[in-house]
A and B are shown apart, each in its own frame.
Chain A
Amino acid sequence: MSGWIPSKKSLRPPDPAKRLELERDIEEELRFHLDMRALDNQAAGMDPTVAHADALSRFGDVDQVKAQCLHIQQNHPWHRLTEVAHSVGMLTLGIGGVCVVFLVLNAVLFRLPLTYQENHDWLAVWWQHEDGTMTSNSSLQDFLVWQEEQHVFEHMTLAQYYSVSLASAGRIPARGRVKQVSRGYFAQHGVAPVLGRGFLPEEYDVGAAPVAVLSYDLWQRRYQGKHDVLDDSLLINNTPHAIVGVMPADFQMYYQTDAFAPFTFAPGQAGAERKYLAAGRLRAGVTQATAADALQALHGADDPVWRIKLRSVQDVYGEPVRSQLFVYLGLMTLLLLLACMHVFRQHWSRLMLRQKSWIQGVGTSWGASPLLVGLIEALLVALAGGLLGLGVARLMVNSLLGPLLGDFAHLFDIHIDARVLCFALSLSVMLGLAMGLWPFIVLRKRTGARTRSSSQGRRTEGALLALEIALALVLLVTAGLMGRSLLDRHNTELGFDPGSMLTTPMVISGPQYATGRTQAAYFAEVFSRLDTLQGVQAASLTLVLPGIDPQPRVSIFLEKQAPATAQQAVHFNVVGTDYLDMMGVALRRGRLFEPEDAGSAVGVTVINEAMATHLWPGQDPVGQHLFLNNPSRERVEVIGVVGNVQQGGWHPEATPAMYGLYWRVGGGAMHLVVKAEIDPQMLVASIEETLRSIDKQVPLEPLAPMEGILARQARTDFLFVAVFMVLGLVALAMAALSLRRSLIHAVHLRSREIGMRRLLGATTYDVQLLALRPFLGRLAAGVAIGLIGAALITPFFVGLLFEGDPLDPVAYASGALLLAGALLVVACASARKAAHLDPILALRYG
């Protein structure tokens, strides 16, 4: 018996067999009443016919009473509530997913950091290499020419980031990033310091007393936002810089920046080395293309390799993530579509049931008003889903910022503004109107042509179901491709052994480490001390940690006199002498670096197998020469070939890479790598103490086990893929639920036919097949559309979501099999119920 709180059964979709039983019970109960009244009437002396007529007259409209009782039993408020909650939940999921991405897109496209809000005509100079790659690095030589001779910008500025050791009086130094800026930098951005001032013209002169302007973040972190910070100084690379100002919190740079310093240079320093960021504000009336041509002409219009491209800050910030964000938006829109179809189909089924009741004349109250109620209900459900979705999106967005924006996450202030609110509300209203109005229009039309439109309604529902299945498959295949890509990466040999390794980034700079020789001396001292430390097996250096960070690229030539167009880009890493051996990188041919290589007359390099195959297929690369793309085209000899080492990012395929020796190439920002003979954690304190004892001014970051760093990276990658896996499974669950409801609904509509067939001798197997047949067609159509859709869509995701073949048959087949298998099980289970309908009940009440 049913109480006020329903059992789990009452929350399930209406079962045709149960509905028939309910109708039978109600009719039997009313019939009993009428018969008892007629009997009493007869006992009181009435004629049987009159007695029956009197019973009917006392009772009232039997059909209406029956319909009211049925309505009460089937429309339990709790049941309706769960139906509405189900719809709201689906839309919350769909709209929430879209809103998460829109929140980020809104920030990236429209909410620039304060630094650039008023600077739409602020353009950065970028260079496009003929191979399509872009770089923002200009040379000082070019900049000085532009500054003197260009007429397309109001003013041009130059900036340079560099990693430094930062310290305030009496504090342990830490690693930081300083941006050196040329004259007029702050003024050109139209942003004034919140405290103090910017740089005075004389502070840009060579030999001027060093000064610094702090970022808001550093001011808060290191000086607790105290106003007397202007009396203090900041040690940048052990050189005191007087603090003259603090920039506002929103003055965010492309890379997180701790402080700004004036860019100073001696006239003789103006070389061709490309390492500076040039930018400027366009003069009124000058187009981007004209300005680019003007700068190109000053640089050398005939440069066949590098072409100047001017990019706005929106291009610079937005471009790396925009396409990725649109891919996410597309995927989330698919999920929203699926959720909408699910809710829409549920709404539609309810109206169709009402339609059936209305056609049978069971109820007399169905007219326009239930449809109007349906429209209001759809609008309210969509609005509730939209607002809840927006709330969920706001809660989720911060945890997804990292995967969505990567290094740019710090630049953007993500919050719900009027644009986001309008987007969510208009999306909700549109969905609500679409869901509410369409059935309204179709069902109103139907009054004149009930039979024809009934089959049309079934076709509409069938098409919706097939589309739901197709959308679910597209999401499943995408998740499968991402999973495959992750698995490929997991299965790819690391190419090195991270066991027992500790690592820490090290930045040594400042007056005492101004030259490569003094830097090398520092590291030589580090290694000599670490060698004597008990438990340390070996120690070395690397510019880039393997398996985590992508390696930088350099251009090389195979011949000294080769034209600029013949250059090739390969990945590059700078390592210590013992690094490759210590990391367990396999030597395939030749030899590894040796201490004598540091002082040899000819530069040497070790290359990976991918580079050997790429540049010297079928030949022995050892002894071959290549030329670096520097002014002297330095010749470098290949001394050995090592196995491929996995890099960071979604690139399981090995790419050509070469190693340079630190003692020849140099570099102030390296990673120290220590291999331990004992538990590495036990060595952390003694290594840190050793490093401090050499020079306590060198900033020291905590030593971390390499395996832990790799595991953290793997976890982040897995979580990212898991989000899409969950989306795929949610889509599958939605499709399965829709199929079940749709099948039960179809059986209910055909209950009379099923009853008739059973009476004429059809077996339960025949009835199951009868119920299943139309759905098999829809399932097949859905799977086919889904496969085609996935094949059309997923090629756009390559490189953005995963690497590898977008038509990977394993991902497609497993997605299709999982979907079809799960849906078939659900369909068969639902069809079994149809087979057990009582034929008499089906015929009488169906």
Chain B
Amino acid sequence: MLQGTLDMLILKTLTLGPMHGYAIVRRIHQVTEDVLQIEEGSLYPALHRMQRRGWIEAEWGTSENNRRAKYYRLTSVGRRQLQTEVSIWERLSRATEKVLGLEPDGA
């Protein structure tokens, strides 16, 4: 996975609402139909780093099976960061498609 892609996927997933780490992983696997296989443990350093940067906030709550779980929520800074990362991603993917001839020039 490209550097920074995981952050973008986590931020995008959290636009749906507060989630714990496991739910984030499950959602990414569901949406990508298990195409993006990430080592689940790598999610947590990313979550803590993003929390430190103020992109997301964490709060302890109760899970669907009644256990204590840590829920992450997107902050306004995180929303802006997501927009930035998505626009970068779009530019990058359009450029890649052009190189591969998947999109005609001037389209």
Known: A4-B77, A25-B70, A59-B39. A72 touches B57 (CB 8 A): no
Interface residues of B in 28-59 (CB under 8 A from A): 39-42, 44-45, 48-49, 51-54, 57-59
In the assembled complex, A329 has its CB within 8 A of some CB on chain B: no
Which B-chain residue is minimally distant from A1 (CB atoms)? B57
Q: Is the interface of A mostly helix, strand, loop or mixed?
A: helix
B21, A33: Cβ atoms under 8 Å?
yes
B59, A1: Cβ atoms under 8 Å?
yes
A29, B53: Cβ atoms under 8 Å?
no
B49, A72: Cβ atoms under 8 Å?
yes
Interface centre among B22, B39, B63, B65, by most A CB within 10 Å? B22
Q: A26 to B21, alpha carbons, bound, how many Å?
A: 12
Residues of B within 8 A of A68 (CB): 44-45, 48
Known: A72-B49, A73-B48. A62 touches B58 (CB 8 A): no
Partner of A28, one of B52, B59, B68, B75: B68
Partner of B41, one of A5, A35, A40, A61: A61
Residues of B within 8 A of A32 (CB): 20-22, 63, 67-70
Q: A74 to B42, alpha carbons, bound, how many Å?
A: 18
B21, A58: Cβ atoms under 8 Å?
no
Interface residues of A in 68-116 (CB under 8 A from B): 68-69, 72-73, 76
Min C-beta distance of A433 to chain B, whole Å? 33
Q: A30 to B68, alpha carbons, bound, how many Å?
A: 12
A29, B21: Cβ atoms under 8 Å?
yes
Min C-beta distance of A77 to chain B, whole Å? 8
A29, B70: Cβ atoms under 8 Å?
yes
Contact with B along A15-44 (1 / 0, CB 8 A): 000000000011011101101110110000
Residues of A within 8 A of B26 (CB): 40
Interface residues of A in 44-70 (CB under 8 A from B): 58-62, 64-65, 68-69
Interface centre among B21, B41, B49, B51, by most A CB within 10 Å? B41
B21, A73: Cβ atoms under 8 Å?
no
Q: A731 to B20, alpha carbons, bound, how many Å?
A: 49
Q: A734 to B63, alpha carbons, bound, how many Å?
A: 48
Which A-chain residue is minimally distant from B57 (CB atoms)? A1
Q: A58 to B26, alpha carbons, bound, how many Å?
A: 12
In the assembled complex, A2 has its CB within 8 A of some CB on chain B: yes
Residues of B within 8 A of A268 (CB): none
Residues of B within 8 A of A65 (CB): 41-42, 44-45
Min C-beta distance of B6 to chain A, whole Å? 13
B40, A1: Cβ atoms under 8 Å?
no
Q: A36 to B48, alpha carbons, bound, how many Å?
A: 20
Q: A608 to B48, alpha carbons, bound, how many Å?
A: 81
In the assembled complex, A3 has its CB within 8 A of some CB on chain B: yes
Which A-chain residue is minimally distant from B50 (CB atoms)? A72
Q: A33 to B25, alpha carbons, bound, how many Å?
A: 10
Which B-chain residue is minimally distant from A69 (CB atoms)? B48
Residues of A within 8 A of B42 (CB): 60, 65
Known: A4-B53, A33-B22. A59 touches B40 (CB 8 A): yes
B41, A60: Cβ atoms under 8 Å?
yes
A1, B22: Cβ atoms under 8 Å?
no
A60, B52: Cβ atoms under 8 Å?
no
Which B-chain residue is minimally distant from A25 (CB atoms)? B70
A1, B51: Cβ atoms under 8 Å?
yes
Residues of B within 8 A of A26 (CB): 44
Q: A25 to B21, alpha carbons, bound, how many Å?
A: 13
Min C-beta distance of A351 to chain B, whole Å? 23
Partner of A36, one of B22, B44, B68: B22
B40, A73: Cβ atoms under 8 Å?
no
Selected A-B contacts with CB under 8 Å, 11 pairs: A2-B54, A29-B69, A32-B22, A32-B63, A32-B70, A37-B22, A60-B42, A65-B42, A65-B45, A72-B45, A72-B48
What 10 additional pairs, Cβ within 8 angstroms, besides A3-B75, A64-B41, A76-B52? A1-B58, A2-B51, A4-B53, A28-B68, A37-B22, A59-B40, A60-B39, A60-B41, A62-B41, A68-B44
Which B residues have a C-beta under 8 Å from some C-beta of A?
A: 20-22, 25-26, 39-42, 44-45, 48-49, 51-54, 57-60, 63, 65, 67-70, 75, 77
Which A residues have a C-beta under 8 Å from some C-beta of B?
A: 1-5, 25-26, 28-30, 32-33, 35-37, 39-40, 58-62, 64-65, 68-69, 72-73, 76
